[in-house]
Amino acid sequence: MSDLRAKATTLLRMHDDFVVLPTVWDAWSARAVVDAGFAAISIGSHPLADARGQRDGEGMSLDDALEGIARITAAADVPVSADLESGYDTAPAELIERLLEAGAVGLNIEDTVHSEGRMREPQEHADYIAGLRAAADAAGVDVVINARTDAFVKPELHGGDPVTQAVERMLLAEQAGARCLYPVKVPDSAALTAVLEAVTLPVNVIAHPLEGSAVGGLQEIRALGARRVTFGPMLQKALTATIAELAAPWR
């Protein structure tokens, strides 16, 4: 447990300035990213599910996801943050216990409940995050909870203005004990700025390693004030094209 405590503290401190956590999906991709010089990594549910021949949106079970996460943490001795979608209908205390058993010290948790086809209400999601925070504190590990909202990508599930919803949900997540905030697929710099001006925690932006994000590349993201970048499924997708290019001449 002391190793997990140290890794969690290291991961959290990386957010004091600016951190890029390349998103991996198996032991090979994790080792490749660490060998490239990154001191921490993230695991995406989407690329992990693709690597397993399953679908994103909790097409994996929690056991499936944790098995993949454990393989990665065993292969890469760096802090790891893992995407656990909406929690796989699992109580917060159990989710934290099993995350730590798998060797990860951070997690994404989103407000779309896939098993029910709905979005948690803002306070409902905050309460779930508060439960995760309490369980992590009880374990003595400052797990880096990256609170995600799908307010921008699934407005039909909340019926409100996406920016207003994102700000409300991120504020409540901050108050509930998150350590980072993730308004996934923020559409433009104005929307990102609205979130940044409302909260004090680091904000996560998703980017494509070659194409950047909706608000620009690395320098633009940093200049706007976001403090964390992850790739979601984009690194895996970029490699898909490269693999096809390499293999095609041998058809």
Secondary structure tally for the chain: helices H, strands E: 10, 11
**Residue 162: pLDDT band with limits 50, 70, 90:** very high
In whole angstroms, give the CA distance from residue 134 to residue 208: 34
Distances (CA, A) of 245 to 25, 63, 69, 156: 21, 35, 29, 38
Domain with 167, as residue range(s), is 2-250
Distances (CA, A) of 2 to 34, 57, 80, 142: 22, 33, 15, 11
**Residue 189: pLDDT band with limits 50, 70, 90:** very high
Task: Look at residue 40 in the predicted model and tell me its pLDDT.
Answer: 98
**Residue 152: pLDDT band with limits 50, 70, 90:** very high
Say which CATH number the domain at 184 has.
3.20.20.60
Task: Look at residue 210 in the predicted model and tell me its pLDDT.
Answer: 95
Q: Which pair of structure tokens corresponds to residue 238?
A: 């970029």
State how many domains the chain has. Answer: 1
Burial of 71 per CB tally in 10 Å (0-12, 13-18, 19+): middle
DSSP 8-state assignment for residue 95:
H
**Residue 2: pLDDT band with limits 50, 70, 90:** confident
In whole angstroms, give the CA distance from residue 165 to residue 183: 10
Burial of 249 per CB tally in 10 Å (0-12, 13-18, 19+): exposed
In whole angstroms, give the CA distance from residue 181 to residue 202: 6
DSSP 8-state assignment for residue 34:
H
Q: Render pLDDT for 197-231 as a digit per residue (tens, 0 to 9).
A: 999 999 999 999 999 999 999 999 999 999 999 99
Q: Which pair of structure tokens corresponds to residue 184?
A: 């996934």
Task: Look at residue 208 in the predicted model and tell me its pLDDT.
Answer: 97
Q: Render pLDDT for 11-58 as a digit per residue (tens, 0 to 9).
A: 999 999 999 999 999 999 999 999 999 999 999 999 999 999 999 999
Neighbours of 175 (CB within 10 A): 12
Q: How many CA atoms lie within 13 A of 10 on its CB side?
A: 18
* pLDDT higher than 90, residue 1: no
Q: Render pLDDT for 89-128 as a digit per residue (tens, 0 to 9).
A: 999 999 999 999 999 999 999 999 999 999 999 999 999 9
Residues contacting residue 227 through CB under 8 Å, at least 6 positions apart = 15, 17, 18, 19, 180, 202, 203
pLDDT averaged over every residue in the chain: 97
Task: Look at residue 139 in the predicted model and tell me its pLDDT.
Answer: 98
**Residue 234: pLDDT band with limits 50, 70, 90:** very high
Neighbours of 174 (CB within 10 A): 19
Percent of the chain surpassing pLDDT 70: 100
Task: Look at residue 146 in the predicted model and tell me its pLDDT.
Answer: 99
21 close to 228: Cβ distance less than 8 angstroms: yes
Give the pLDDT mean for 136-162.
97
